Amino acid sequence: MPISFKVYTSQYSKMKPNEIKSKDWYHYNGLFLAEHFLGSKTFQKYFGASQKKLYYKISNYLSKQNQIDKKQVESLEKDISREDFLKLCYEPGLPKVFRGAAANWEAIKKWNPDFFEEHYGTQKIYLNDNVGIADQEFEELSLGDYIKQFKARTLKYLRFSDVVNHNPELKNDFDMDWIRNYNLPHSWGEDTKMFMGAKGTLTPLHVGLSDFLFVQVMGRKKWILYPTNNRLHLDVRTERTFHYYSNANPYKLDDPNFPLLKFAQCYEVYLEPGDVLWVPSFVWHHVENLDDTIGIRCGRSSLASAAKSSKILTALIFLATKPNIFSHAIATRTQKRSLVFMKSRTQLNDNLFNRLNPFKRKTKI
């Protein structure tokens, strides 16, 4: 029986936070759009003071309300029906965790750094340097060389790696039927990214367009998450990229640079090997590695889901320039790789676009 794909409007998925006055929300979104089109430097020069004044105005009236308590991410039965999944996960637009859902999968039993070093050590990987996500230098090396550094306690973090995408036999170690059972209707682009990071590494607050299931394979992770419409509280930045980020530190609630952070609705969950976390489109997340870890992000894109979460964030993805959507689409088709998690410098993206653009006329030098 087909499942209708209804756009729900529960209290959790409203675009505007209930406690924020409408005129302040529109003011904030106007400033957000200005930053996207002007760039951060120009925006701060002409509108930075106005934004700061707005934040403190909102802080004054929110301070008269009760502070919101931190919540734990709710658990679901691992064999929940697809219908119930859509009702409990998609409708409210909040993260949920399937405890032990992957405990018996082959990946949980055999995947570790030694396994990848032995079988996939020659695989080329990239350590990305995306602004707001990775505080490290861009680097291209073999997976085997990275694992040698990993064992030597490097703080370099392999994020959003295509190792599984490029070696589809690895998906045999997952129950892909279980994963695909929870794909949202009308979603596309199955994308499986691997993360491998040492104890103490982390990825700061960020979001992307795709909904995803995150499978914890090895070690423990701590996730701190915020609803989509808390971007005002987090002072989110837009850099014309395919992702958004915040410099807010969830542990520094009294940081004067983020006066609204303490009023945000925070969710928290600890993942053990075999746990699977559902993260909806544009739900903000800060992720810490409590041990040496391996995890897999199984994502798909859905415009209906993204627009339900945030129309403005969805629209601005299509106006990204770092890279632009055309160069990204061409690279994905022709070179089987995403430009989103390649070197973040605009010059590299422009060079790749020029090289991959089939309509670019050849010129003689």
Say if residue 323 is preceded by a cis peptide, omega within 30 of 0: yes
Domain ranges across the chain: 16-66, 70-320
Cα four-point dihedral sign 39, 41, 46, 49:
positive
Is residue 57 pLDDT above 80, yes or no?
A: yes
Let me know the angle formed at the C-alpha of 21 by 15 and 26, rounded to the nearest 5 degrees.
60
Alpha helices in 16-162 (DSSP H): 22-38, 40-62, 82-85, 106-110, 113-120, 143-151
Is residue 96 pLDDT above 90, yes or no?
A: yes
- What tokens appear for 192 in the block? 């499986």
C-beta separation of 212 from 287 below 8 A: no
Is residue 214 pLDDT above 50, yes or no?
A: yes
- The C-alpha atoms of residue 338 and residue 165 are separated, in whole angstroms, by 11
pLDDT value for 237: 92
pLDDT value for 342: 58
User: What is the amino acid identity at position 86?
Assistant: L
C-beta separation of 134 from 124 below 8 A: no
If residue 304 lies in a helix (H) or strand (E), which one and from where to where? helix 303-309
pLDDT value for 235: 97
Is residue 182 pLDDT above 80, yes or no?
A: yes
| Domain 70-320, CATH | 2.60.120.10
Contacts of 260 (CB under 8 A, 6+ apart): 55, 58, 59, 62, 232, 233, 234, 235
pLDDT value for 258: 97
pLDDT: is 225 or 78 the higher one?
225
